[in-house]
Chains A and B, each alone.
Chain A
């Protein structure tokens, strides 16, 4: 017994000495700010982080996941420059084809905006508050601070882990872990608060309607509620205490004084730029198979008066993919609904034809397939559609 406790004492005192070996992360009190054209000195931790991120940026550029050359790309750049951070020249923004609500900022100044975000923001003001939030992350070097903190946490825990492996500390080690990771989480939440405030300030100064800042989060909450359980949004899971955030943003908006020229929402401009992308965005969204959330988005688009033919088409696609009892009938009705509009997506004809085949009305499918082919002569699946027609004509279907 005595031997064990002596051993324990020895381990504890040895690693106590070790804790002093590597000092605390450099204090970044008073929120550092990055000036235009900033580059870290080459012998710093930050320079190492930038080197890695330069590589990550190159990887992203060649990933094949980027949406490039669309008016939306220019639009994002334009909004970033409207926000007066002085960093517009230094920030590179990439539109990534990923159907989730998310935006990220790397320490070397490259920003990712995921395409799923554009399906969820409703106007330029909402987008501006989010872009401002990301710029504030860069401005205050949050990645670097988090890296320091993570390193510090790992350093602090390492002796406990060695001691635990040697049978030295028992539950004290686990407590240390919980405490350390809790600290890391808090650190990250503080960054979110600072980024919210910074983004708000920038977008507000640029004349954007401050009430739109909270609106994005309310909308997301609605989606989350529709999904009943758990946050499937990456952004929500890494951006905790959303009710606190909501309250803060609302409070900031309520004290803001409206300029005589009125607030700017930019709903028309937003629609003009983003609308051409919507079809692809909804297609990607459906692949996530989170139908209750997609339904919220469709309802919202419908309320906003977006193209009814497309909304009906995607409503049909949702039923067709969900395939619960009764969904096939609902899908048929929705495809038909879509076809009542002159600008219906030609795919409605094809999908309706497929439903006819499934429900034993193959003969009626032929003219629909033919209309599809005449409207989309270069369709990627034209050979398959022709094969269907042949099989039906020869009585095989």
Chain B
């Protein structure tokens, strides 16, 4: 055994996401607001969490290949765009700083992973009502759990803003394959941009706002394109 199974698992997870988009016909859902949640009249502070981001190439055969260099660039550009976006709001922005205590740092990284999992579930349910279990229909109590209060303690912020982005780009070969397939009525998945942003109340972990992005276009490798993507994702942010 040389390649870790987790690697294949991650690939298949992303494939599922891509299929989800294909099924949804790239519908842009409206942002979700927690019922009854009111935008505070007073100034609040928002903690900007590190973006969970990965850019990859979709090869002819449908294998996703992570691009480390694009990912590094996109992380920088998207963070900049996010800071610029938040600066337009009246509220105070706090940047996340990793705590020196390893246990707290570990807890925070686990919270980021939990956000990816909870967010993916919300994302799939919002796009595909048919796969949503009856008990989860119209859920209004999505939460990352009370442990997020640790973020409040270390940052002093009232809310946490989490962003998750996965962006893939078809190679020329993949585009040709899609084109030829389309001629004969066979569809193959294409490069796509999927992501979500979540505003979390750091007192109790409840999700107060959630917005998704799922489309076959968009880019994160240039400054203007990253700004456009982030602006779309931050639309209707209740701050």
Question: Which residues, 27 to 78 on B, are CB-close (under 8 Å) to A?
Answer: 54, 56, 59-63, 65-69, 71-72
A43 touches B4 (CB 8 A): no
Q: Determine the chain A residues whose CB is within 8 A of the CB of B2 once the complex forms.
A: 104-107, 137, 142-143, 146, 188, 191
Q: Determine the chain A residues whose CB is within 8 A of the CB of B56 once the complex forms.
A: 48
Q: Which of A15, A22, A50, A157 contacts B171 (CB 8 A)?
A: A22
Q: Which of B3, B106, B186 contacts A166 (CB 8 A)?
A: B186
Residue A383 lies at the interface, judged by CB distance under 8 Å to chain B: no
Nearest CB of chain A from residue B55's CB, rounded to whole Å: 9
- Nearest A-chain residue to B173, judged by Cβ: A21
Nearest CB of chain A from residue B110's CB, rounded to whole Å: 7
Query: Given A22-B59, A105-B2, are A166 and B177 neighbors across the interface (CB < 8 Å)?
Result: no
Nearest CB of chain B from residue A184's CB, rounded to whole Å: 12
Residue A159 lies at the interface, judged by CB distance under 8 Å to chain B: yes
Q: Determine the chain B residues whose CB is within 8 A of the CB of A49 once the complex forms.
A: 7, 66
Q: Which of A15, A58, A151, A162 contacts B65 (CB 8 A)?
A: A151
Complex Cα distance, B62 from A177, in Å, reads 15
B63 touches A51 (CB 8 A): no
B1 touches A102 (CB 8 A): yes
Nearest CB of chain B from residue A133's CB, rounded to whole Å: 11
Residue B188 lies at the interface, judged by CB distance under 8 Å to chain A: yes
Residue B16 lies at the interface, judged by CB distance under 8 Å to chain A: no
A157 touches B61 (CB 8 A): yes
Residue B172 lies at the interface, judged by CB distance under 8 Å to chain A: yes
A106 touches B65 (CB 8 A): no
Complex Cα distance, B3 from A137, in Å, reads 10
Please classify how large the interface on chain B is, using the bins under 10, 10 to 19, 20 to 34, 35 or more: 35 or more
Interface string of A12-47 (1 = CB under 8 A from B): 001101100110000000000000000000111101
Complex Cα distance, B42 from A47, in Å, reads 46
- Nearest A-chain residue to B110, judged by Cβ: A62
Nearest CB of chain B from residue A364's CB, rounded to whole Å: 50
Interface string of B167-181 (1 = CB under 8 A from A): 000011100110011
Interface string of A109-149 (1 = CB under 8 A from B): 00000000000000000000000000001000011001100
Query: Given A56-B4, A142-B2, are A150 and B63 neighbors across the interface (CB < 8 Å)?
Result: yes
Question: Which residues, 143 to 173 on B, are CB-close (under 8 Å) to A?
Answer: 171-173
Q: Which of A14, A137, A155 contacts B59 (CB 8 A)?
A: A155
A48 touches B186 (CB 8 A): no
- Nearest B-chain residue to A143, judged by Cβ: B2
> What's the tally of chain A residues with a CB closer than 8 Å to chain B?
52
Complex Cα distance, B106 from A52, in Å, reads 19
Nearest CB of chain A from residue B44's CB, rounded to whole Å: 32
Q: Determine the chain A residues whose CB is within 8 A of the CB of B7 once the complex forms.
A: 49, 52-53, 56
B3, B6, B172, B181: residue with the most chain A Cβ atoms closer than 10 Å? B3
Residue B133 lies at the interface, judged by CB distance under 8 Å to chain A: no
A62 touches B106 (CB 8 A): yes
A151 touches B180 (CB 8 A): no
A234 touches B1 (CB 8 A): yes
Complex Cα distance, B59 from A251, in Å, reads 43
Q: Determine the chain B residues whose CB is within 8 A of the CB of A137 once the complex forms.
A: 2
Q: Determine the chain A residues whose CB is within 8 A of the CB of B10 once the complex forms.
A: 52, 55
Residue A9 lies at the interface, judged by CB distance under 8 Å to chain B: no
Query: Given A104-B2, A151-B61, are A18 and B176 neighbors across the interface (CB < 8 Å)?
Result: yes
Residue A213 lies at the interface, judged by CB distance under 8 Å to chain B: no
23 contacts between A and B (CB under 8 A): A18-B60, A42-B68, A42-B72, A43-B67, A43-B68, A47-B67, A49-B7, A51-B54, A51-B66, A51-B71, A52-B10, A53-B7, A56-B6, A56-B7, A104-B2, A137-B2, A151-B59, A154-B62, A156-B61, A158-B60, A162-B181, A166-B185, A238-B1
| A residues adjacent to B (C-beta < 8 A) | 11, 14-15, 17-18, 21-22, 42-45, 47-53, 55-56, 58-59, 62, 102, 104-107, 137, 142-143, 146-147, 150-159, 162, 165-166, 168, 188, 191, 234-235, 238
| A48-B71, A106-B3 given; 8 more Cβ-contact pairs under 8 Å | A21-B60, A47-B67, A48-B66, A52-B7, A104-B1, A154-B59, A154-B63, A159-B60
